[in-house]
Amino acid sequence: MSFNIQDRSRDAFMLDGSFATEGYDWWWHSFTAVSDLTGMEKQFFIEFFTCNPALGGDEPVFGQLPENKAAGIHPSYLMVKAGCWGEGKCQLHRFFGWNEVTIQRGAPFSIQADDCYASDTELRGSVSVAEEESAAHPEYMCDSGSMAWELTIEKLDAFNVGYGAGKPMRDAKAFEMYWHAEGMKSRFSGHILLNGESFSVKPERSFGYADKNWGRGFTSPWVWLASSSLTSLVTGRKLTNSAFDIGGGRPKVYGVPFDRKLLGAFLYEGEQFEFNFSKFWTATKTRFAAKETENEIFWAVMQETPAAAMVTKVRCKKEDMLLINYEAPDGSKLHNRLWNGGNGLGEITLYRRVHGRCQFVDRIRADHIGCEYGVYDK
């Protein structure tokens, strides 16, 4: 069964029913750009994060304000998150009250507030946070700096996780956290201005990624690994029709946790290898570990089915990563050490199973890896 099925209905706005008063929905984009001054690469991200639309009004409502915490007031806003990894890393937040937001709820989706706009094919916007503003408002949960962007997106290949994010399960609000990667492999083009420095985004060098999550809470542990910048270590050949994506941790279905479960997919030069616990008939088995050292975050993932197996090992320097910030729809901020990066390096070994025996496919170097890891105690 194919996982590479694009479905724009899953990119639509999902905050209806109970999710309108206790729910989040975000569209995430990450990609590589090139400095117009130095020619050096830099990894960027842009996200449109929505929260509790039915509780909103003219102004954004911040759940981290002490007076709102004391009064049990939950957050409500559109947060435009933008930034970069590596040298000069930053996450910048701009907030809008819901009365400032125009949204196309169905497919194809679009969302706009002032000059900030996102759809399946375009990203435009700007964010600017002064140093004194960031220091005076810890509820903004961000750094200082400025960034502006104008980009087009071509979403080439998807990781469609199947019925788990299908309409019946969406309508039932069965999962605490849903996931759909409409652009597991994407091409971005356009321009970025970061703190006065100009960057060009070129489709063939963008190594782009676009997905979304929605729900009422966040998983712990939280794991995400993805890249389309892949090279065969056997032949030395660039794998130009390939991408991989792994995500999950501890999903909850109707409030029942399923411990240490990941969803994984590898598009290898057009051939599909899927490791999806929600498709129970595939008998997917997963083992994974992640650890934080003084200088790095490491991930090791082993996934297998009767048809295939994949071993993924990734590392990312903490100096290149961010502790990325979100508050949950109930106003809690449980993830305070959620490491997030775009400069990961890794190696993947891929096998087919033929008549029950493992058949080596390739050993692959991955770079420009988007990566996340975090755990909270509750």
Q: What is the C-alpha separation between 85 and 31, in angstroms, rounded? A: 11
Go through the chain and tell me how many residues it has.
378
Question: In this structure, what token pair is assigned to residue 349?
Answer: 């070994």
pLDDT, tens digit, 9 for 90 and up, residues 92-137: 999 999 999 999 999 999 999 999 999 999 999 999 999 999 999 9
Q: What is the C-alpha separation between 119 and 322, in angstroms, rounded? A: 25
Burial label, 300 (beta-carbon count in 10 A; 0-12, 13-18, 19+): middle
Residue at token pair 């000069």: 88
Question: Distance from CA of residue 190 to its chain's centroid?
Answer: 21
Q: pLDDT band at residue 12, thresholds of 50, 70 and 90?
A: very high
Question: Distance from CA of residue 323 to its chain's centroid?
Answer: 14
Quick one: which of 337, 329, 328 has its CA closest to 376?
Answer: 337
- What pLDDT, on the 0 to 100 scale, is given for residue 378? 60
Quick one: which of 96, 93, 114, 91 has its CA closest to 57?
Answer: 96
Q: What is the C-alpha separation between 280 and 297, in angstroms, rounded? A: 31
Q: pLDDT band at residue 164, thresholds of 50, 70 and 90?
A: confident
- What pLDDT, on the 0 to 100 scale, is given for residue 287? 95
pLDDT, tens digit, 9 for 90 and up, residues 228-284: 999 999 999 999 999 999 999 998 988 888 888 999 999 999 999 999 988 888 999
Q: What is the C-alpha separation between 224 and 337, in angstroms, rounded? A: 14
Q: pLDDT band at residue 355, thresholds of 50, 70 and 90?
A: confident
Is the bond into 60 cis (omega within 30 degrees of 0)?
no
Termini Cα distance of the chain: 37
Residue 325 predicted with pLDDT over 80: yes
Quick one: which of 341, 340, 339 has its CA closest to 368?
Answer: 341
Helix, strand counts (H, E) of the chain: 3, 25
Domains and CATH numbers, the chain: 8-374 (2.40.370.10)
Q: pTM score > 0.85 for this model?
A: yes
Q: Between the CA atoms of 188, 340, 316 and 269, what dihedral angle is there, to the nearest 10 degrees?
A: -40
Residue 48 predicted with pLDDT over 70: yes
Quick one: which of 257, 255, 303 has its CA closest to 282?
Answer: 303
What is the maximum alpha-carbon separation in the chain?
64
Residue at token pair 């890393």: 89
Q: What angle do CA 106, 111, 112 make, to 5 degrees?
A: 150
* Alpha helix segments (H runs only) across the chain: 66-71, 131-136, 167-171
